[in-house]
Amino acid sequence: MKIALTGVNGRVGRKIAGGALKDGHSVVGIDYADPNPEHEPHENFTFIKADLQDYQAALNAFKGCEAIIALAALPNPGDYLVATHNTNAVVSWNVLRAAAELGITRVAQASSVNVLGGYYNEKVHFDYFPVDEEHPCRPDEPYGLSKQIMELQADAITRRYKFMRVASLRLHWFIDPSWIDRVYNMPQEEAHKHLWGYTFESAGIRAFLLAVTAGDFTGHERFFVIAPKIGSRIKTSELIGEFFPNAEIKKELAHDEAAINSSKAERFFGWRHDDDDHGGTEAAPAAAAAKTEEVVAAPAEKTEEVKAVEEQADKPEEQVNGHAGHVEAEETVESALPEKVEEEAVVVPHETVHANGSAAVEPEAVADNLIDKKDIVVIDVEPIGHSACACCEESIVHAVSVEPEAIAAN
């Protein structure tokens, strides 16, 4: 099968492309940026540079494809204004409408558990447990809303173009198994907002491929693709009782059974998040130079707000995670800093940098904590549970290195 894969430069996109090629498919990787340098050539992979906010560019990019896996989107609320909502809603509609125009019958699109109203919401509310695809959606922020709109767009497109089938995969925290301790160690005031869930990479990759290759359903269907166990040492029932005491319990949950039910994906196209879903899939190859194409039709100039969010979303060393669009840095302290710097580094607590939980940083507040004006400062940025943190996007990052002069200057 010839599969178009949007957002191929991202960490998730590269993994899915690698899995598709390994399974014998041809992949047309599409991204608005130049090919990621981590890609390697493969005879069945073609890269197309296209801004999917331009409908004609989407049409040109998808020509000749039999299925689409749609990942391209801004991965978090950004500044909670308009960039994430407006960009994502336009891109998702252009993908679906282009697929209909070209007669492409199968689309799998990356939705999110945030359609429920989760991590980025000011408050969360769940009516019953375990949560399933019929649960009401109540996002109060632009990222979750853009995913809800994506799903409504799929309802509309399949209502009119009955030959299409669309699977909206509601992703959770998309992680490598080596990161599982980060799930277990997340503070409960944050973890309860996304119901202690996660999805291992290999399971998520398989879900996208099965969604366009297996099963015989028609129309648009929503699917949770989440691990069957929660990432907590506390019993699921106890956590629900503490944080959601008024919710209806439709089914008693085992000790660490997931609070979100993903069984629909197994019924419709045979997906399960198995216990042996460990390790990743080879990273996606990129096209050789001769097979790289560009179909951008001179899109309108992006606003500074869009550029800022896209820069956060498209850094090669970062990963877009399913559960909330988190950006998860792969580098550790050891890989990010040379040994001699670690010994001389000054540690400035996260609370110092984020004054009272605000993303605004007073240069004086930072400068006051720099001992002897060392050349490098290491800032501890453990998550603080403030969902509007614009500078770290609620990342769980071990450390970042910066020049003190750069802090003072900015």
Strand, helix or coil for residue 215: coil
Residues in the chain: 410
Residue 140 lies in a domain: yes
Which residues span the domain enclosing 265? Answer: 2-178+197-228+261-269
Q: Would you say residue 387 lies in a domain?
A: no
Domain contains 192? no
Q: How many domains does the chain have?
A: 1
Contact 400, 336 (CB under 8 A): yes
The answer to whether the CB of 380 falls within 8 A of the CB of 348 is yes
Long-range contacts of 307-310 (CB under 8 A, 24+ apart): 308/78, 308/79, 308/83, 309/74, 309/76, 309/78, 309/79, 309/83, 309/84, 309/87, 310/32, 310/74
Mean pLDDT of 167-180: 94
Is the per-residue pLDDT at 34 higher than 90? yes
Q: What is the mean pLDDT of the chain?
A: 78
Tens-digit pLDDT profile for residues 279-328? 433 444 443 333 445 454 434 445 555 555 555 444 333 333 333 333 33
Look at residue 16 and tell me if it is in a domain: yes
184: exposed, middle or buried (C-beta count within 10 Å: 0-12, 13-18, 19+)?
Answer: middle
Q: Between these two residues, 186 and 37, which has the higher pLDDT value? A: 186
> What's the first-to-final CA gap in the chain, in angstroms?
50
At residue 40, the pLDDT reads 72
On whether the CB atoms of residues 224 and 267 are closer than 8 A, the answer is no
Tell me whether residue 313 is in a domain: no
Q: Which residues contact 383 (CB under 8 A, 6 or more apart)?
A: 186, 187, 190, 394, 395, 396
Enclosing H/E stretch for 16: helix 11-22
Q: In the prediction, which pLDDT does 282 show?
A: 40
Reference 173, options 326, 385, 313; nearest CA is: 326
Q: Does residue 32 surpass a pLDDT of 70?
A: yes
pLDDT digits (tens, 9 = 90+) for 250-286: 999 999 999 999 999 999 999 999 866 654 334 444 4
pLDDT digits (tens, 9 = 90+) for 94-142: 999 999 999 999 999 999 999 999 999 999 999 999 999 999 999 999 9
The domain that holds 116 is classified in CATH as 3.40.50.720
Q: Residue 410 and residue 408: Cα distance in Å, rounded?
A: 5
Is 76 among the domain residues?
A: yes
Residue 45 has pLDDT above 50, yes or no: yes
Quick: pLDDT tens for 181-234: 999 999 999 999 999 999 999 999 999 999 999 999 999 999 999 999 999 999
In a domain, 247, yes or no: no
Q: Which residues contact 2 (CB under 8 A, 6 or more apart)?
A: 25, 26, 27, 28, 64, 65, 66, 67
- Give me the percent of the chain exceeding a pLDDT of 90: 65
Residue 208 lies in a domain: yes
